[in-house]
A and B are shown apart, each in its own frame.
Chain A
Amino acid sequence: MKNFSNNYTFIFSTIMVVVVALLLSLAAMQLKPFQDKNIEVEKKQNILASIRIKSTVKNAVDLYSKYITDSYVINNKGEKQEGVAFDVDLKKELGKPASERVLPVFIGTLDNKTMAYVMPLRGKGLWGPIWGYISLQPDLNTVYGAIFDHQGETPGLGAEISTEWFQKPFFGKKIFKDSTEFVSVKVLKGGAKKDDPHAVDAISGGTITSKALEAMLDSCLVQYKPYFIKNRHQ
């Protein structure tokens, strides 16, 4: 084996690091637009799914501009704020004190001309973050649609929150009791009563994720309470 001097080793590693850094940053910059586009399309697909509109990667952008007719951001008193709803990073907002947060609202107009109000959700699951979108009917009380997703919940158990059989029972549930008391939607272990308007079944074996989802619904939606009360159409 050849012997290399210390100087050689230093110069070798310096050149290597510079070349690699240049290559990688070039690649990252070239690919960034494609990656951002993917993330944007995914978000649009999720928002559309929450108002029960199925979309593909190809038509998501068109369908989004067709169905999502308005969007704005509000504060936790229900007042409109400056800002673009689509660009709000909920993870960052939830890290701020409640009074400084901006909360996005997306408004969809369905084929039958009724409105659906979409709120983003984000919380902590068992293994990592869980998130989703929930849409309400114009009474801002009845759930119209919901979609949940996760980063790494247990396959077959907690991961079931992203499946249709778990999401469908949310449709038609009510988040207010007697139209004033905010109760959110509970996810009950052992099963919800059939006529309970405020609860759905939890996932057997996925109790922690189910509870986490319940907590996410409660903590994210309660921030919108003043907005809901102010803007509901009876």
Chain B
Amino acid sequence: MSIFTSKNFKLLSNPLNLENPVTVQILGICSALAVTTKLKPAIVMGLSVMVVTAFSNLVISAMRNTIPPRIRIIVQLVVVASMVILVDQLLRAFVYDVSKQLSVYVGLIITNCIIMGRLEAFAMGNKPWPSFIDGIGNGIGYALILIVVAFIRELFGSGAILGYQVVPQSFYDAGYINNGMMIMPTMALVLVGVIIWIQRSFNKELIEKD
């Protein structure tokens, strides 16, 4: 079993673009709106989701032949929920300030559609290793969109990147002001819309025919 066959590599790269969970499958939008006012929480949220998708894919895939089909959704939920609780506890112990900013959204990873979607669609029918890669890929796909949105929102909403002021004071003296709209969730939705637009103008096969 090689680590990266071309098939496995596809599992990793497809979710970044053609099968992106946020912009193509439109999953996990609510947390994408909520945690993207600043870059740091967005990165931590992206990582947390990646860890949870990857490891719950791995665990579910390893157990897939022993899970009774009638209770499979419950089993998936139990696995996802315990992963999320672990992640939440770890964040609280080691990055307390970020865990405060993410507040309820870490807990809400449980209901993030990406995770259940990948478990049902992929992990239940594939071997553990490809499932793990699929989870990582989808986590990165989600994190990527969050980071792009958060970068733009923090830059224009607070004039900073990762908390460091990048818009010089002379700009403010000259009359520049931070865009308060960027801090509101509405702008995150608009930005995700713009990303989807750009993505589809480059990938014509994503455009629905009507």
Question: Do A and B form a real pair?
Answer: yes
A38 is an interface residue with CB less than 8 A from chain B = yes
B69, A4: Cβ atoms under 8 Å?
yes
A9 is an interface residue with CB less than 8 A from chain B = yes
Given contacts A8-B68, A9-B70, A152-B103, contact A16 B75 (CB under 8 A): yes
User: Mask for B61-102, Cβ within 8 A of A = 1, else 0?
Assistant: 000011111110011001100100110011011101000000
A38, B93: Cβ atoms under 8 Å?
yes
B69, A34: Cβ atoms under 8 Å?
no
B86, A27: Cβ atoms under 8 Å?
yes
The 5 lowest CB-CB distance pairs between A and B, nearest first, are A34-B93, A38-B96, A4-B68, A31-B93, A9-B68
User: Mask for A1-44, Cβ within 8 A of B = 1, else 0?
Assistant: 11010001100110011001001100110010011001100100
Note all chain B residues with C-beta closer than 8 A to A34.
92-94
Q: Using A9-B71, A34-B93 as known contacts, list a sample of 6 further A-B pairs with CB atoms less than 8 Å apart, ordered by residue number in A.
A: A13-B71, A24-B85, A27-B85, A27-B89, A28-B89, A151-B103
Note all chain A residues with C-beta closer than 8 A to B89.
27-28, 31, 35
CB-based nearest A residue for B75: A16
What CA separation (Å) do A39 and B86 show in the bound complex? 18
A12, B184: Cβ atoms under 8 Å?
no
A169 is an interface residue with CB less than 8 A from chain B = no
**Chain B interface mostly helix, strand, loop or mixed?**
helix
Given contacts A8-B68, A12-B68, A20-B78, contact A155 B37 (CB under 8 A): yes
A42, B96: Cβ atoms under 8 Å?
yes
What CA separation (Å) do A12 and B69 show in the bound complex? 12
Note all chain B residues with C-beta closer than 8 A to A152.
103
B116 is an interface residue with CB less than 8 A from chain A = no
B183 is an interface residue with CB less than 8 A from chain A = yes
Given contacts A24-B85, A31-B93, A35-B89, contact A156 B184 (CB under 8 A): yes
What CA separation (Å) do A228 and B89 show in the bound complex? 41
Q: Which of B120-140 contact A (CB under 8 A)?
A: none
Q: Which of A35-82 contact B (CB under 8 A)?
A: 35, 38-39, 42
CB-based nearest A residue for B100: A42
Interface size class of A (residues with CB under 8 A): 20 to 34
What CA separation (Å) do A155 and B183 show in the bound complex? 7
Given contacts A38-B96, A155-B184, contact A24 B68 (CB under 8 A): no
B180 is an interface residue with CB less than 8 A from chain A = yes
What CA separation (Å) do A13 and B67 show in the bound complex? 9
CB-based nearest B residue for A39: B96
What CA separation (Å) do A91 and B65 show in the bound complex? 49
A31, B103: Cβ atoms under 8 Å?
no
What CA separation (Å) do A31 and B91 show in the bound complex? 10
Note all chain B residues with C-beta closer than 8 A to A28.
89
CB-based nearest B residue for A38: B96
Q: Which of A117-158 contact B (CB under 8 A)?
A: 151-152, 155-156
A38, B71: Cβ atoms under 8 Å?
no
What CA separation (Å) do A23 and B180 show in the bound complex? 44
Note all chain A residues with C-beta closer than 8 A to B82.
20, 23-24
What CA separation (Å) do A155 and B37 show in the bound complex? 10
CB-based nearest B residue for A149: B100
Note all chain A residues with C-beta closer than 8 A to B79.
20
A31, B183: Cβ atoms under 8 Å?
no
Note all chain B residues with C-beta closer than 8 A to A156.
180, 183-184
Note all chain A residues with C-beta closer than 8 A to B180.
156
- Distance to closest chain B CB from A142 (angstroms): 32
B74, A35: Cβ atoms under 8 Å?
no
- Distance to closest chain A CB from B187 (angstroms): 12
B92, A35: Cβ atoms under 8 Å?
yes
What CA separation (Å) do A38 and B75 show in the bound complex? 33
A1, B96: Cβ atoms under 8 Å?
no
What CA separation (Å) do A17 and B94 show in the bound complex? 27
Note all chain A residues with C-beta closer than 8 A to B93.
31, 34-35, 38
Note all chain A residues with C-beta closer than 8 A to B69.
1-2, 4
